[in-house]
Every structure is written in C-alpha cells, then in structure tokens.
Structure 1
Amino acid sequence: MNASDRLGPGSAVPARELESVTGAPALVPDGEHLVHLQFRRFAGCPICNLHLRSVVRRHDEIEAAGVREVVVFHSSAGELREHVADLPFAVVADPRKRLYAEFGVEAVPRALLHPRAWWPLLRAVTEGTWRIARKLDRAPAGLPENGRFGLPADFLIAPDGRVAAAKYGEHANDQWPVDEILARAAESYGSARPVRTSTRA
C-alpha cells in the first residue's frame, strides 16, 4: 500500500452509523464529540486485550476529554461478543474488512515479526494465559478470522468529519497509549476543554 492511500490530518471521513456487537449504534463522526476510531486485530488477541484494559481503566478520563471510543476488529460479531461484552464503549465487527480497506489499515507479517512486538507479545500472552486460566477472559480461536497479522491504527475524528490525527502501527503493539489519546484530544480542542491527567498505568 502506498502512503498516499492512507488518511491523514484534514482527510474527510463520510458520516456513517456503525452497528456495535451489542446492537447499539456508533456514530462516526459523532457530531458533538471527538471519536477515537481504533482498529484492532482479531477477537481475543492478547495484545489487543492488554491495550483495551488500559483504555477501560481510564475510560472516565477519556470521556471527560470529550472523546468517544469506537473499536473495530476484523472478526465476526458472534465471535467478538464472547470477548468484549463488558467493555464500556462501542465495538464493531468488520469481518469483510471494508472499514480496514477504506482507512488503509493493513495486515502484514511484520505485525508479529518486528522486534519491538516481541516483548509486548510475550507479556500479553503471559497475562492472557493467567486470565484465561482464571476464567477472566476467553481464549482466542486457534485460527482467527482474517489471520493474526493485522496492524493496529488510530484515528481521531473531529465532529465535522475531518481527521484530526492519525497513526498507522508498524507492528502489533504500535498504538496510541491513553496519554497520547488525551494529548491529541487536547490539541484538537485547544483550550476549550481541559483534560484531566492521571498517574494510573
């Protein structure tokens, strides 16, 4: 994929209403709030689960910053429901990868082969195994839909539908941490909306 196929700041995102796996609508753009549209990998992905737990821990901060989370996986709704039922934000199934194609989000072997992904992957698998053994999480499918080589991506979409900021991951763990989400939101809103900070991980 050429860099010219990717969306960047100022790119227009057509308005749409996505259906979350719970059946609730997810507006992109929102019209009143920034939307953090994040593309994850497959249902039960250990790295995705570890990252999303950090988002859940600080979800109140994210909402207070005027941001609505919408998370996309390239798995079916049926498979996702077993893994994301308790998340406090919209999760969207895109097994045909239409949104991935529209936003230029790739799947390549370097997602897992990049050296900077190895330690996060080991940590995520270790913690995931511990949680699965205690029935806190469900194990992913042995052959996940659309494979294991998806790359993450983050888009902050303004109420008017323009992309305020974007990040295309270079490996499976290359995404915005919560502090980055809050910083990007503060930049987008300027001084109009204060952002609370936290020392939590």
Structure 2
Amino acid sequence: MPLPSTVTTRTLDAVTGVTVPVPDPDHLIHLQFRRFAGCPVCNLHLRSIATRHHEILAAGIREVVVFHSSAAELRKYEGDLPFDLIADPTRILYREFGIESAPRALLDPRAWPGIARAVASTLPTILRKDKPAPPNKPDGGRLGLPGDFLIAPDGRVLASKLGSHADDQWSVDELLRLAPIREPHP
C-alpha cells in the first residue's frame, strides 16, 4: 500500500475532548503513530518530545500522537503529555497510513538499546508508584511499529517515516530539520 502524498481533511477527537483538524490550516502537523498506551519505548520517546515541545511549537508544528489503545488507557498512562493524543483502538488511521505490526518491532536488534533505556527509565517510576506498570496484554498487542508524518496546512505530506522496529522514529532534531523555515511576522 503506497503512503499517502496528501491527507484528506478530517477532525480527530483527542482524549481530552478537543477536536484536532488534520490538516491544520494554521500549523504543520507532526502525526505520530505509536504503539500502546504504557509502552516504555513510546513513553521515553514522547518525554523527549515533551521536553522540547516549546521548540516544536516555535517551528509552527502541532504534535498529534495516535495510539492503538483506548482513550481510557491513554489517559491512564499518557494523560500528562502536553499535546494531542488520539485513541485508535480499531486501527483505522493505522491502516490508512500504512502503519504495520510485526515481530520485528521487538526482535530487531537495533530496537534493543532503546528497549533497555526505556525499561531503565520507566522502572523507577513504577517502583515509586508514580506510574502504573505497562499492561500485560496491551490494546492491539505489543508488536506495533511507529510512523511519523509531517503534514502541511494544505494537506500535503512533506515527509514521512515508517519505523522498521519499535524504537525507529524521528528525533526532535530530525523533525525540526524537516520543518520548512518560518518567516517571522512583522
């Protein structure tokens, strides 16, 4: 299935109740597809996005993150993130954007260092009971692959990446390099 070159206009419902226009007429959209709510690898990655969210906003980018988990699960595990979270437990968006699930998500040796960092980072918060442990049987399973799309206000997909393993997504630096340079307003 070919990746979309343009995105059909729609609104998505964030877990907070906010409606999110995609594309957004006023911003670039970084549409991220992550695995399940509570995924340690996803959590570590999204914390790096949250830490530099001010830079992303300054570049004119709105973060929209899709999980194949329910809204309730997202609120439980990821509810403190400062951007829009979209629940897609039936994987409608995943299919539309060509996001797959495969054993290589966890079996690819390139994912292992990220998995180790994520577990080491997540374990203390679980032991302190600051966060719940990841679910034993997550919505949609554990084998989801990540995906990233940068969408222009007119719906064109400016860049995309389909991850080849669980820890294969754009870093903040990569995202910022992909964003067109914004002209300052007079």
Give the TM-score normalised by the residue count of structure 2: 0.96
Where do 4+ consecutive residues of structure 1 move more than 3 Å? Answer: none
- In the TM superposition, residue 5 of structure 1 has moved relative to its aligned partner by 2.4
Corresponding residue for residue 199 of structure 1: none
Residue 41 (structure 2) aligns with:
47
Equivalent residues of 2:70, 2:88 under 8 A apart: yes
Cα shift readout 1:84-124 (whole Å, capped 9, x = no counterpart): 22111000000000000000000000000000001110110
- Partner residue, 1:6: 3
Structure 2 alignment gaps of length 5 or more: none
- The residue aligned with 1:70 is 64
Q: Does 1:133 align with 2:127?
A: yes
Equivalent-residue separation in structure 2 for 1:22 and 1:191 (angstroms) = 29
Unaligned 5+ segments in structure 1 are 194-201
Counterparts of 1:191 and 1:35 in 2: how far apart (Å)?
14
RMSD (CA atoms): 1.3
Report how many aligned residue pairs link the two structures. Answer: 185
> What code does the residue aligned with 1:5 have?
P
In 2, the alpha carbon distance for the partners of 1:152 and 1:191 equals: 27
In the alignment, the residues of structure 2 paired with residue 44 and residue 24 of structure 1 have an alpha-carbon distance, to the nearest angstrom, of 22
Q: Which amino acid aligns with 1:96?
A: T
**TM-score normalised according to structure 1 size:** 0.89
Q: Is 1:124 paired with 2:121? A: no
Aligned partner (choices 141, 147, 163) of residue 153 of structure 1: 147
Q: Give deviations 1:128-163, integer Å, cap 9, x for gaps.
A: 111111233221211001100000000000000010
